[in-house]
């Protein structure tokens, strides 16, 4: 557990080792308990662009940055808070890589030593409702991925669609900082326990390249992650 002081809108902060030079931090947040002094209490700078944001947006940003700082203190051992770029992506301190996610009152950050990891992706999702999953599957899944849904219905189909969506979000967070190129749901496909690029992003990341992914499920949803070794 962390000894970081938390404002009343955040609780249950914990850090967990996820591999060599790799740490996951996560916490829960309550937007309804957010107070104006929360950023000051947590020692997190408030970006100018968030000054007039609704409490939910400020609470989730604060929770993500608190998690990031807690993780960075362990891997790679920096007392720092990532900034925010013009593209709204986190800007990690020199020597570190990472990713942040937040969803429905839960936030997490995965950080690592840049000497061991080139990129990291992390995404938390609540399980989609079956009706919503059915509406979104054509947008989120490639035709071969949709073929794997044959025989599935209800919650089983919804879980598969949620998993695919989350892993693709993690892939984007891992590769966008490395390539500077945006890509979309039809540009990658899950194949077993790996996700494969269907379009080239750079000379280092070509169509056909693939990465393994990890998933942790619970009754409310799932956490997915992707690690790119140095």
Q: Residues annotated as binding site for CoA?
A: 57, 65, 101-102, 123, 169, 173
Provide the sign of the torsion angle of the four alpha carbons 22, 101, 202, 81, taken in this order.
Answer: negative
The encoded tokens of residue 87 equal 């593209």
The encoded tokens of residue 42 equal 């947590």
Query: What is the number of alpha carbons within 13 Å of residue 68 lying toward its C-beta?
Result: 27
Taking a C-beta distance cutoff of 8 angstroms, is the pair 1, 24 a contact? no
Q: Say whether the peptide bond before residue 76 is cis (omega within 30 degrees of 0).
A: yes
Binding site residues, as ranges? 57, 65, 101-102, 123, 125, 169, 173
Binding site residues for Mg(2+), as ranges? 123, 125
Secondary structure of residue 219 in the 3-state scheme: coil
Q: Which CA distances in Å does 114 have to 26, 78, 95, 165?
A: 21, 12, 5, 27
Residue that is written with structure tokens 């700078």 in the block: 45
């Amino acid at each position: 557990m962390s000894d970081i002081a938390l404002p009343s809108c955040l609780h249950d902060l914990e850090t967990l080792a996820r591999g060599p030079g790799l740490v996951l931090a996560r916490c829960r947040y309550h937007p309804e308990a957010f107070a104006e002094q929360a950023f000051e209490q947590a020692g997190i700078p408030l970006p100018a662009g968030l000054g007039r944001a609704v409490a939910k947006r400020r609470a989730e940003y604060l929770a993500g940055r608190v998690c990031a700082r807690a993780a960075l203190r362990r891997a790679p051992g920096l007392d720092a808070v990532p900034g925010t770029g013009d593209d709204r992506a986190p800007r990690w301190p020199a020597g570190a890589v990472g990713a942040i996610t937040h969803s429905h009152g839960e936030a997490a950050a995965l950080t690592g030593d840049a000497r061991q990891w080139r990129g990291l992706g992390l995404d938390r999702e609540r399980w989609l409702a079956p009706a919503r999953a059915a509406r979104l599957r054509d947008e989120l899944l490639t035709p071969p991925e949709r073929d794997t849904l044959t025989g599935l219905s209800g919650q089983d189909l919804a879980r598969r669609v949620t998993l695919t969506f989350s892993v693709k979000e993690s892939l984007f967070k891992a590769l966008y900082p490395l390539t500077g190129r945006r890509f979309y749901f039809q540009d990658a496909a899950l194949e077993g326990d790996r996700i494969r690029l269907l379009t080239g992003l750079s000379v280092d990341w070509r169509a056909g390249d693939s990465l393994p992914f990890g998933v942790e499920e619970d009754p409310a949803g799932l956490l997915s992650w992707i690690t790119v070794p140095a």
